[in-house]
Every structure is written in C-alpha cells, then in structure tokens.
C-alpha cells in the first residue's frame, strides 16, 4: 500500500525530532562557570546551587551565615538567615571571604549580602580550589563582626 507524501513527511519529521531529542533525555546540564570564573556570579543563575552544601557556619545568637559550596563549580557563597521578622533596627550583613592559604591568610575577594528581616538571601560566588574560605556576620548598627573558622 502506498503512503501519501504528507504521511511520509510527517514520519520523516518525527524520526528527525526523536534523533535530536532522545540523546538529551536524562542528561544533566553542566554548570555555567567553574572556579575563579564564578567570581561575582549568582549560584542559582549559573547552576551551582544544585549540589550546594553547607561547609561551615557562624551565628551571633540570632542571625546565621552559612558557607555554601558547590563541588561541581568549585565555588562558594554565603547564605544569611534571620529567623525572626520585625526584629531589626538596622541592616545585618553576611559575608563570604576568600583568603590565600599563605601565612596570615591575606583576603583576596569577598561577597556580601544584606540579610532580609525574617528571611534568607545569598551572595554571589567566589571560587577556586586551594584557597581558605570563611563566612562572617556584620551588624550594621554596632559594627560588630563574628566570623567562622577557615574551611
């Protein structure tokens, strides 16, 4: 039995689409940056948040700063959290610092995020293997700073 031309075209287009789309099924997409190439970029928009894990944190008794690290991107960011709404008279900040592992751990880069009242937010990333990282909380009213140990 002869098939009409529209049927043949339809089958050909379906086969071509399957050939293009099937290799993509089940694959994960690579992150949009790596190591120092992530500096200043957002962890969500560059796909680094998917495997983000807390490596160290610090608290001042209320606020918390967590160092989040992506093994895929080899980059980190700070997530600052204030669990209590309507308790801030001034801004509080969470900071991630990237330090050299050399004597004295000189500061190389940092990223800061303002912690929202009664919420969480995260900074842009700093990245690279072989550096020392820590997170800090800064009180915008008193200027007090508390930092985690190096990771």
Angle at 142 between CA 117 and CA 119, to 5 degrees: 10
pLDDT computed for residue 13 by the predictor: 42
Q: What confidence category does residue 12 fall into, taking pLDDT thresholds of 50, 70 and 90?
A: very low
Cβ proximity of 42 and 128 under 8 Å: no
Stated as kind and residue range, the H or E segment containing 76 is: strand 75-81
Report the SS3 class of residue 17. helix
- Cα distances from 66 to residues 6, 34, 94, 113, in angstroms, run 60, 20, 9, 12
Q: What confidence category does residue 50 fall into, taking pLDDT thresholds of 50, 70 and 90?
A: very high
6-17 mean pLDDT? 46
pLDDT at 45 over 80: yes
Domains of the chain: 35-147 (2.60.40)
pLDDT computed for residue 87 by the predictor: 75
4-11: Cβ within 8 A, 24+ apart = none
Find residue 145's DSSP bridge partners.
138
Cα(122)–Cα(93) distance, integer angstroms? 10
43-65 mean pLDDT? 96
Percentage of residues of the chain with pLDDT beyond 90 = 69
């Amino acid at each position: 039995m002869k098939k009409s031309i529209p049927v043949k075209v339809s089958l050909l287009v379906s086969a071509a689409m399957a050939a293009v789309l099937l290799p993509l099924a089940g694959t994960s997409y690579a992150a949009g940056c790596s190591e120092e190439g992530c500096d200043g970029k957002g962890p969500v928009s560059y796909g680094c948040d998917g495997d983000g894990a807390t490596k160290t944190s610090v608290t001042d008794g209320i606020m918390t700063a967590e160092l989040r690290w992506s093994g895929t991107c080899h980059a980190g960011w700070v997530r600052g959290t204030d669990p209590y709404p309507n308790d801030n008279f001034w801004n509080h900040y969470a900071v991630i610092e990237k330090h050299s592992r050399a004597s004295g751990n000189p500061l190389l880069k940092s990223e800061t995020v303002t912690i929202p009242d009664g919420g969480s937010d995260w900074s842009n990333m700093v990245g690279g293997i072989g550096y020392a990282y820590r997170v800090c909380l800064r009180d915008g009213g008193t200027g007090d700073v508390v930092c985690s140990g190096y990771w």
